[in-house]
A and B are shown apart, each in its own frame.
Chain A
Amino acid sequence: MEHNKFFNFEYQASSENYDEFVSSDNIVRAHYDPLSAQFAQYKTEHYQKFNEEAKLVFFNEGITFAVYSDNPLGSEKIFPFDFIPRIIPANEWNSIEKGIVQRNRAINEFLKDLYHGKKILKDGIVPKELIYSSANMLSVMEGFDPIGGIYNHISGTDIIRHSDGEYYVLEDNVRCPSGVSYVLANRNTLKKTLPKLFSKCQPQPIINYPEKLLEMLQSVSPGNSHPNCVVLSPGMYNSAYFEHSFLAQSMGVELVEGRDLFVKNDVVYMKTIHGSQRVHVIYRRIDDPFLDPLLFNPDSVLGTPGLMSAYLAGNVTLVNAPGTGVADDKAVYAYMPEIIKYYVGEEQILKNVPTYRCGEDDDLKYVLENIEKLVVKPVDESGGYGISIGNTLSKEQIKEVQLQIQQNRRKYIAQPIMSLSVHPTYIEGEDTIDARHIDLRTFCLLGKSTEYVLPGGLTRVALKKGNLIVNSSQGGGSKDTWVI
């Protein structure tokens, strides 16, 4: 372990992981020079002040997140924010951006094919059993053409940088990916906290994301030049409620719950004090099973009865389309290189992490014998729930995981333990700066004839030393991400 004087601290550059800030020969990477120079002028009390200021901004603006891992009822917390920004050089970002668009275009084509001719299954590229055993494959979507042919209007692609310095896609999220409001809130906060550094570095702007989002929503409206778009939220008890209200407010559209809408003659209306108003596009932040009690979960009170009939009649657009979850199943992820090649005719730009599918005999055997070297993930969970990291498990826990896998093989995949890159992070309480693991959630919008990737995205940071799970629902925090 090398010790260097950066940030006026003894910063321990990692020898095992890729350090975003310093190279293996302990030299600050060129794109971090302005940040390093600026931070060298600060002392401990400055860092404490930045941290307190950032927390105050988050507190005052109500930027919170509910965590359910400790308390089943959820506890509302200020979303932890680290004021040391992550920097991605523009040339690296260009390649990431191309890779994200390529990947999400391919996923869209894949979904279109699965709900129509199923050519990819007939050609034997993806096994039919994998698709038909997915609870997210919705028969009601068969043969339906969403407006503009778009299914995954909003995608969240999670990317990590491994110890070899290469970027890898960890997973695709094409249901209701969350986190973008924190990107905007982080930027807003950092601008206030470190205005000089911000002005010196001039990162690519992200302020226009709500505008781009609204533009995309309007582009897939069913035939109205002034469509009424709304954000549909499960309500204030949802862990991402802050984001729902933030996005609705920044786009200037209504935030609604299922009970605020009703359907008549296959048309969706919103109840307002001025009477009912037709709704054309719904950015729904409710999972498929809760959208419409008449077609999915009959006990759900989160959705709106008749909503799916209105959607299938082409009178309202749901963003993202129902049934997209079949494509972000972690077992399908393993086939992404083939899926990209099949639909786009190109090699993947962003690499996949090698993945073992426990549903397959050879893979299962390898996984059961090598759990301590692997990360085992349930295919249908998100938010970091249900993940087992092999090298952190006791012998008893390994046995438990082996049993879980054998009881429901289709439910699990395993991947080698990837070494997430590290980044200098202010450690509250210790008043020091230390390396912590990070990843990157990117956001891509696909509209009728538009595509947009938010420059940077949400850098999530595992605040506990050595921890590899960065999800906010598991107590992780985030950083502002600068593309310069």
Chain B
Amino acid sequence: MSLYQLQYKASNAYASQVWGAYLKFLIHPYSAIGAQINKPYFSSNVEGEWWISNARQKEVSDIFFKSNTKFDSLEIKYSVLVDVPINNPFEKISLPIELEKRILDSNSWIIDNYRFIQSNPQRPKSYVSASDCSAFYWLNEGNLLDKIICLRDQVYHYIEFASGHTNTSTCAAEIVIIKKGVCQDFTHLFLGLLRHFGVASRYTSGYLHQGTETRGASQLHAWAECHIPEIGWMGIDPTNNLLVDHHYIKICHGYDYDDCLPVSGVLNSMGNQQSTEHQVIVQQIQ
């Protein structure tokens, strides 16, 4: 097991006074990977109540914060200890190619995974058209994991990791043109391509241990999970060209970034948010 202390800090300033807030934070670790989660602690400069809810999906915990106080800036701090089991992705073995293909082609597999296989132009953040895919190829031979890894390599080399060129609204089709971006852009393009080639895949957000030379560790990180027969949902990180291991601490998954917003909610206010800053610290304790 690897023991980490995770810290998430966010600071928000508002143009006008806020007189009440109901916020949801998606920053608590995912519980279904055998991780032991201890001592969650949430604090804020604004008086209010907070609680953890895992009603939406039993493995995903939403942290709610409710305040009836007046404020013009909000700072929240969250920390938690998480003990993650050692996960060696190279130990995972695919089924024989023929059997795997039979499963992937079966009606049952497609229906059970339809939500994450379907390319959906109504969700453009992770949608690419056939012409957007022309710069990429899909291996005809090999098992599904090999094909996915080959595609991951292509995405990794296609995009230059650079912040400031994209934002949370940037769509996969734009990334094809800009060829620059951060982890969520790598992931959105990768997902668009995977779904175009018929792979059940989902957007995953989480923490990344910064002890190694990895990109995207100072913010919440994003990667993809692909559903592979026999193996299950396997994490693939196109930003760092890695398979996901125990250095990745998942929070939640969804179709794209919009399902994994770290903070969302309702503020009673006359004005807009003026500035926002997030910081993530992942510290390995054992």
What does the 1/0 interface line of A127-150 toward B look like (CB < 8 Å)?
010001000000110100000000
Contact check, B266 vs A294: say whether CB atoms are below 8 A apart: yes
CB distance from A140 to the nearest CB of B (A): 7
Instruction: Tell me if B92 counts as interface (CB < 8 A to partner A).
Output: no
Q: Which of B56, B110, B255 contacts A309 (CB 8 A)?
A: B56
Contact check, A294 vs B108: say whether CB atoms are below 8 A apart: no
Instruction: Tell me if A306 counts as interface (CB < 8 A to partner B).
Output: yes
Contact check, B112 vs A118: say whether CB atoms are below 8 A apart: yes
Contact check, B62 vs A132: say whether CB atoms are below 8 A apart: no
CB distance from B270 to the nearest CB of A (A): 14
- Known contacts A128-B111, A132-B114, A263-B64; 19 further A-B pairs (Cβ under 8 A): A118-B111, A122-B111, A124-B107, A128-B114, A132-B118, A262-B22, A263-B22, A264-B49, A264-B51, A266-B51, A266-B53, A266-B55, A293-B266, A294-B265, A305-B22, A309-B55, A309-B56, A309-B64, A313-B55
Which residues of chain A are near B255, meaning CB under 8 Å?
139
How many angstroms between the C-alpha atoms of A118 and B113 in the bound complex? 11
Which residues of chain B are near A308, meaning CB under 8 Å?
56
How many angstroms between the C-alpha atoms of A293 and B264 in the bound complex? 9
Instruction: Tell me if B115 counts as interface (CB < 8 A to partner A).
Output: yes
CB distance from A112 to the nearest CB of B (A): 16
Contact check, A309 vs B53: say whether CB atoms are below 8 A apart: yes
CB distance from A197 to the nearest CB of B (A): 54
Instruction: Tell me if A310 counts as interface (CB < 8 A to partner B).
Output: yes
Instruction: Tell me if B66 counts as interface (CB < 8 A to partner A).
Output: yes
Instruction: Tell me if B188 counts as interface (CB < 8 A to partner A).
Output: no
Instruction: Tell me if A165 counts as interface (CB < 8 A to partner B).
Output: no
How many angstroms between the C-alpha atoms of A446 and B51 in the bound complex? 34
Contact check, B62 vs A309: say whether CB atoms are below 8 A apart: yes
With A294-B264, A294-B265 known to touch, is A310 a contact of B111 (CB < 8 Å)? no
Instruction: Tell me if A383 counts as interface (CB < 8 A to partner B).
Output: no
Residues on B facing A (Cβ under 8 Å): 22, 24, 49, 51, 53, 55-56, 62, 64, 66, 107-108, 110-112, 114-115, 118, 255, 264-266
9 A-B interface contacts by CB (under 8 A): A121-B111, A122-B107, A132-B118, A262-B22, A264-B51, A266-B55, A294-B22, A305-B24, A311-B55
Interface size range of chain A in the complex? 20 to 34
How many angstroms between the C-alpha atoms of A124 and B108 in the bound complex? 10
How many angstroms between the C-alpha atoms of A34 and B265 in the bound complex? 62
* Shortest Cβ distance from A308 into B: residue: B56
CB distance from B278 to the nearest CB of A (A): 19
Contact check, B264 vs A298: say whether CB atoms are below 8 A apart: yes
How many angstroms between the C-alpha atoms of A312 and B118 in the bound complex? 25
CB distance from A289 to the nearest CB of B (A): 14
Instruction: Tell me if A265 counts as interface (CB < 8 A to partner B).
Output: yes
Contact check, B55 vs A312: say whether CB atoms are below 8 A apart: yes
How many angstroms between the C-alpha atoms of A266 and B64 in the bound complex? 9
Which residues of chain A are near B265, meaning CB under 8 Å?
294, 305
Which residues of chain B are near A262, meaning CB under 8 Å?
22, 66
How many angstroms between the C-alpha atoms of A140 and B252 in the bound complex? 14
Which residues of chain A are near B112, meaning CB under 8 Å?
118
Contact check, B56 vs A305: say whether CB atoms are below 8 A apart: no
Cβ-closest 10 pairs across A and B: A313-B55, A312-B55, A305-B22, A309-B55, A305-B266, A265-B51, A309-B53, A121-B111, A266-B53, A294-B24
Contact check, A139 vs B115: say whether CB atoms are below 8 A apart: yes
Contact check, A306 vs B22: say whether CB atoms are below 8 A apart: yes
Which residues of chain A are near B64, meaning CB under 8 Å?
263, 306, 309
How many angstroms between the C-alpha atoms of A96 and B56 in the bound complex? 39
* Shortest Cβ distance from B112 into A: residue: A118
CB distance from A50 to the nearest CB of B (A): 51
CB distance from A138 to the nearest CB of B (A): 11
CB distance from A288 to the nearest CB of B (A): 15
With a 10 A CB-CB cut-off, give which of B107, B110, B118, B266 has the most chain A CB atoms.
B266
- Residues A305-362 near B (CB distance < 8 A): 305-306, 308-314
CB distance from A310 to the nearest CB of B (A): 7
Which residues of chain A are near B66, meaning CB under 8 Å?
262, 264
How many angstroms between the C-alpha atoms of A310 and B64 in the bound complex? 12
CB distance from B260 to the nearest CB of A (A): 13
* Shortest Cβ distance from B118 into A: residue: A132
Which residues of chain A are near B264, meaning CB under 8 Å?
294, 298
How many angstroms between the C-alpha atoms of A251 and B255 in the bound complex? 42
With A264-B51, A293-B266, A309-B64 known to touch, is A132 a contact of B115 (CB < 8 Å)? yes
Q: Which of A122, A140, A142, A314 contacts B108 (CB 8 A)?
A: A122
CB distance from B63 to the nearest CB of A (A): 11
